[in-house]
Amino acid sequence: MTTEQLYNQIQEKKSFLCVGLDVDLNKIPKHLLALEDPIFEFNKAIIDATHDLCVAYKPNIAFFEAYGMKGWLALQKTINYINDNYPNIFTIADAKRGDIGNTSSMYAKAFFEDLNFDSVTVAPYMGKDSVEPFLAFENKHTIMLALTSNEGAFDFQTLLVDGKELYKQVLETSKSWKNSENLMYVVGATKAEYFTEVRKIVPDSFLLVPGVGAQGGSLAEVCKYGMNDKVGLLINSSRGIIYASTGTDYAEKAREEALKMQQEMSGIVSLKFKV
Amino acid sequence: MTTEQLYNQIQEKKSFLCVGLDVDLNKIPKHLLALEDPIFEFNKAIIDATHDLCVAYKPNIAFFEAYGMKGWLALQKTINYINDNYPNIFTIADAKRGDIGNTSSMYAKAFFEDLNFDSVTVAPYMGKDSVEPFLAFENKHTIMLALTSNEGAFDFQTLLVDGKELYKQVLETSKSWKNSENLMYVVGATKAEYFTEVRKIVPDSFLLVPGVGAQGGSLAEVCKYGMNDKVGLLINSSRGIIYASTGTDYAEKAREEALKMQQEMSGIVSLKFKV
């Protein structure tokens, strides 16, 4: 999927919501546990209930790997289900991978080719040759960690390197990498004031924003500082939507929560773009 | 496995060799491709041929994920084969994972519980709460990237933060984390002179050292600067051993290469520890 297609989706749906599929068997409705593949069944119902309100789904790969082979199968079925039924949805493998060149190529192959995701998240610590193998794939997107939404973000990401925070150095350096137009960045919503700084460095890039809702970030604040003239944001919500209810009405309740976010986004998109 | 048990292995075998299992179907002997599970069959033969010469195996998870379900099954069979047949061998899931707290717990569960590895590699960029969930597992080890062996290591890892390189900041900060005694570190062999600096900060920790051989690092140099009084090194070789031959004699040739390294190590251990 091209960024232009993603932007078209955002305009059509008046939404820049990404639903995070972080499926923990301890948190899903108990009645699903009797089914052969509870993770996939849970995802399928959530996807069917929310696909018209969001523009992206982001399975966090950890939650699948934790269940071994069964988890991997559920991941495969989930991505196939989205691609088969809702091909306009942008898909993000939240994997936070990164390794030396030839190994990163294998990860890229796993997520872009074998599983056919539109994008994958990567970590920057190993530098250019750990990320460029991902960037080589046409119409695929590499979402690099810049400033994350957790407490530990302040351990290294905000340390001053030549008078400039490390995450800014990461953003700037990455702009010189080959096929850097395929880069997007993770910037956490819990630090809305930082978006102004981020936008000075990467005005045109899409930003994937975790931390709205459960982690305390404000949608309005993030939009105020982080939007560009093509929206340029994908706001992720995981737990706030998928665990809105632990009863048999979980999909319906998930839709209600997604709808609330979409409506707020709709207001923002309308105001900003006069559509 | 405890670090004491790992050290005992090193003394017994006079080896601190780690064999990296980075199995690329394009590089293994062609006759294996006709088998039902070529990746596992390749690994099994390599393991049987080298287990008495090395103290650790390190499957790089990317090379399994790239083959989807089949790859994951091959990984599971490989780790089970090692644990069942050679339980004294230290096992490393080279996964370079890291995510926010509850997600890191899922990764830890995947590698420490579901697959039963002794250790897993992690990336430091997201800080304390992305690594501590791994450290909480007793007698399991978390091997954090400090200074890697690739070119991109110089993009961020060696930048000066308050007059000190980022990798040193990473090493120092991590020492204050809960259960930090379960930490080991990745330090690349291509930068042998850096080991002196690393040892000033983490004198007692085990270091996993990639980059000897194929990537150009020298074993003697690394030992000179990086050994502590309990050896404290695990030297990884992947391609140099497992792809020593692409013929039917691949396991035999892998043994020959592993033996060369073990013999060199034996000399070093003997000299240093007068055993």
Q: What DSSP character marks residue A150?
A: S
Taking CA atoms, what residue in B is nearest to A239? B102
* pLDDT digit string, tens, across residues B136-184: 999 999 999 999 999 999 999 999 998 899 999 999 999 999 999 999 9
Residue B68's contacts (CB-CB under 8 Å, 6 or more residues apart) are: A72, A76, A110, A114, A115
Give how far B236 is from chain A: nearest CA, Å.
14
Q: How far apart, in whole angstroms, are the C-alpha atoms of residue A147 and residue B84? A: 42
* pLDDT digit string, tens, across residues A161-202: 988 999 999 999 999 999 999 999 999 988 788 999 999 999
Contact between A125 and B125 using a beta-carbon 8 Å cutoff:
yes
DSSP annotation string for A196-232: HHHHHH-SSS-EEE--BSTT-B-HHHHHHHH-BTTB-
pLDDT of A214 above 60? yes
Q: Is residue A275 part of a domain?
A: no
Q: What DSSP character marks residue B88?
A: T
Give the range of the structural domain holding residue A165, as residue numbers without chain letter.
Answer: 3-269
| Residue A260, H or E segment | helix A250-273
Q: Is residue A89 part of a domain?
A: yes
Q: Which of B64, B70, B106, B125 to mutate to test the interface with A (most CBs of A within 10 A)?
A: B125
CATH number of the domain at B101, please. 3.20.20.70
Q: How far apart, in whole angstroms, are the C-alpha atoms of residue A226 and residue A222? A: 5
Q: Is residue A101 part of a domain?
A: yes
Burial class (CB in 10 A: 0-12, 13-18, 19+), B56: buried
Contact between B126 and A148 using a beta-carbon 8 Å cutoff:
yes
Give CA A165 to chain center in angstroms.
Answer: 23
Q: Is residue A274 part of a domain?
A: no
Cβ(A90)–Cβ(A117) under 8 Å? Answer: no
Q: Which two tokens stand for residue B89?
A: 């061998």
* Torsion of the alpha carbons at A73, B138, A98 and B50, rounded to the nearest 10: -90
Give CA B129 to chain center in angstroms.
Answer: 23
At B254, the amino acid letter reads A
Give me the mean pLDDT over the B233-250 stretch.
96
Q: Which two tokens stand for residue A34?
A: 């009797």
Residues counted in chain B: 275
Q: Is A96 considered catalytic here?
A: yes
* pLDDT digit string, tens, across residues A148-164: 999 999 999 999 998 89
> Total domain count for chain A?
1
Q: Which two tokens stand for residue B268?
A: 């070093």
pLDDT of A97 above 80? yes
From the candidates A44, A70, A96, A253, give the one annotated as an active-site residue. Answer: A96
Give how far B86 is from chain A: nearest CA, Å.
22
pLDDT of B196 above 60? yes
- Average per-residue pLDDT for chain B: 95
From the candidates B44, B70, B96, B128, give the one annotated as an active-site residue. Answer: B96
Give the pLDDT score at A145: 98
Q: How far apart, in whole angstroms, are the C-alpha atoms of residue B272 and residue B72? A: 41
Residues counted in chain A: 275
